[in-house]
Structure 1
Amino acid sequence: MFYNFFIPGGIGGDAYKVFLLHKSFKWSTKKLTASLFVDRFMGLTAIGILILIYALIIPIFEGTNMIAGIILLLVLGITASYIFIQRLFPAFLSDYLKTLVQSITIQLLQCICILSLLASITEVESYSLYIFVFLISSVLSIFSFSGIGVREMIFYQASSMLQFDTVTAVSIGVLFSAITALVSLFGIIFHFKKANSYLKLRDPLH
């Protein structure tokens, strides 16, 4: 989290993992890079699934045809994700379901964080709208400095389009980024320690 948050682009932690695991266990750099790509891809798949699920329960997508279209996209998206892994990364296919469930769980925990922040600062009519926008911002924030600025901008723009409180929306984005930064700072402890002492892993790549 420390490297991902404080190195632009959000790939610092991934690059460090490849370097560290290759150095410590002599695992194939190609396999390590592939596993990290699959990890990122499954996270994106999980966010996409949750976005479509939340789209089913927010007012702007009401209507039989719209709901049918969202369900169709959900089925097609999961199928396409499975085929993508099957064709390009077959070695990881056996862990597809487990990884997807873990990724969805992680994203749901972040959604719970947003709900907690909302509950702590104000009362809102539709929590699902804020969660929906947060999930979209999670996708787009990968192109920024750890999501800083992008998430707040998306909340601000969405508040005008979806007609919910702008101050609350932007505050949620700022608070989430600030809390993430604070928690991530604890990673600096590991930066100055010998990483090998923390790696008690069995080799999953052989």
Structure 2
Amino acid sequence: MDRFYRTLGLDLPILKHIKLYYVGMFYNLFLPGSISGDGYKIYLLRDQKTTNTKELFQATLLDRLNGSSVLTWLACVFLVFSDMAKLYTWLSVLGWLGIIFIFPIFFLFSNYLFPKFKEIFISTLIYSFAVQLLQVVCAICILKALSINSNHYDYLAFFLIGNAMTIIPISIGGVGIRELVMLYGLQFLSINKDEAVAFTLLFFTVTAITSLIGLFFTFSMSKELQNISKN
């Protein structure tokens, strides 16, 4: 996100970016959907002199799409090697198509709609890869902790697809879209549903506990940004 905001001339100290990130995560816990925290970040930054709300929205949206494209690409990689693809050949074909075309399509899409950010496309994609791979590491650690020793590629594929789809701000029956993708996707395999539920709930718990850090910055963040805008 820092690279996108800097392109707009919004040069915040790195510590402010970290605080803002955690504040956004915290608001994602209880506001509708899973991108509501991004909206709150735009709200906090709207008074900065160097940019406007429209540009902030574009930067924030592109940052989300950037992460989702990487998540989807990684999901396609795991899908190709999953047991699911062995049962359904069309899934393997779909996975390979995703691996080949996701980034070229995203490049054309982002450069057409958001030409201002063209020069940072590659660098932000690399940063996004690093962040999303950490999610994969977290998921693998949870699988190991639960002693789940099979179907790892399937778990990771659906986990990443669910994460990518969190850009859609909906929740059904109080259940997040990530959990729905996991539960409905894995039902096509002979996987213990209790293990699948435990996996999704543990990841949500880790995310929730981490997001609570944002609570400590929520009340001070607005004042800090106002002070920056006055300088």
Other structure's SS at 1:6 match: coil
Is the 1:2–1:185 Cα contact (8 Å) retained in structure 2? yes
Distance 1:143 1:27, change over 3 A: closer
Q: Which moved more, 1:166-175 or 1:136-145?
A: 136-145
Q: Which of residues 69, 79, 101 is equivalent to 2:104?
A: 79
Deviations 1:179-200 (A, max 9, x none): 2112111211111214453799
1:108 and 2:133 aligned: yes
Structure 2 counterpart of 1:144, one-letter code: I
Q: Which of residues 34, 46, 52 is equivalent to 1:28?
A: 52
Unaligned ranges ≥5, structure 2: 1-24
**Residue in 2 that maps onto 1:61:** 85
Structure 2 counterpart of 1:172, one-letter code: F
Q: Which of residues 92, 97, 119 is equivalent to 1:94?
A: 119
Q: Which of residues 45, 56, 67 is equivalent to 2:69?
A: 45
Structure 1 counterpart of 2:61, one-letter code: F
Other structure's SS at 1:7 match: coil
Q: CA deviation at 1:169?
A: 0.7
Distance 2:71 2:150 in 1: 23
Identity of matched residues, %: 29
Q: Which moved more, 1:173-182 or 1:188-197?
A: 188-197
Cα RMSD (Å) = 2.9
Alignment of 1:1-206 (within 5 A): 1-62=25-86, 70-141=95-166, 142-145=168-171, 148-197=175-224
Distance 1:64 1:127, change over 3 A: closer
Aligned length: 202
Other structure's SS at 1:122 match: coil
**Residue in 1 that maps onto 2:14:** none
Distance 1:72 1:10, change over 3 A: closer
Distance 1:153 1:11 in 2: 17
Distance 1:21 1:192 in 2: 14
Structure 2 counterpart of 1:74, one-letter code: I
| Structure with the larger RCO, 1 or 2 (CA within 8 Å, 6+ apart) | 2
Structure 1 segments of 4+ aligned residues over 6 angstroms from their partners: 63-66, 198-201
Distance 1:19 1:66 in 2: 41
Give the TM-score of the pair, scaled to structure 2. Answer: 0.76
